[in-house]
Amino acid sequence: MKNLKGKKALITGSSRGIGKQIAIGLATLGCDIILHARTLENLKEIEEILKKYDIKVYKIACELSDPNSVQLMLEELDMKHKNIDIVYNNAAISCENQLLFNTQRKVWDEIFEVNLFALIKICEHFLPLMIENKYGRIINFSSGISNQPEMAPYAVSKAAVNKYTEDMAIRLKGTNVLMNLINPGWVQTDMGGANASSSIESVLPGVIVPALLDDNGECGKTFNIWEYKNLELPKLVV
């Protein structure tokens, strides 16, 4: 699998949870990191953790529910970074269980703005340069949630992410820009809750695997994190 030393990765929602673990995993492999959160203050803890690695760490704040904020973030990234090789669209929001036949429109709007529309904006911003450079890895997050119509806004947003990723992957064949999905399973995050079956640490190394794919590797695939739980991160890299 690909050596990531010297590559640069943007991770949305990297102040905590799975995003924080992604940052640690990539840093272990020598990848430079662009951390994202709603505020720079939220990134202090992960920034401190990453100091022990021989990498460059950058920070950016953006409210993904605000299209103007997303646009400003992308413009700032263009000014400060020549190339971004890897993008993890990790940030997402959910909702409390809704009344089965009376979900408020504002709930749908906010969830789709963060989980789908911001993700698409980020993907389509970086794809042209990645294609020109003949290298790129974009990892979007799926969900295995099903049979819970009370959480329909979240579940439907993730189904849309799946469809967008799978269809876009068809057009990316032969470009060496690989867009794939991660299914993290039920993980002990703020969203998943303390009763989830998997610890937050268990997402490594599986969550890193799509970033390590060799040139012209899988595209449009869903990677289930738990299938890689017995692997060691350093041994994944040639």
Buried b (16+ CB within 10 A) or exposed e, 163-175: ebbbebbeebeeb
The partner residues of 187 in beta bridges, in order of sequence, read 198
Residue pair 150/94 in contact (Cβ under 8 Å)? The answer is no
Closest CA to 179 of 163, 195, 194: 163
154 is catalytic: yes
Of the residues 88, 135, 154, 228, only one is catalytic, namely 154
Question: How far is 79 from 151, CA to CA, in rounded Å?
Answer: 39
| Beta strand residue intervals within the chain, DSSP E | 8-11, 32-37, 57-61, 86-89, 136-141, 177-183, 222-224
Annotated catalytic residues are 154
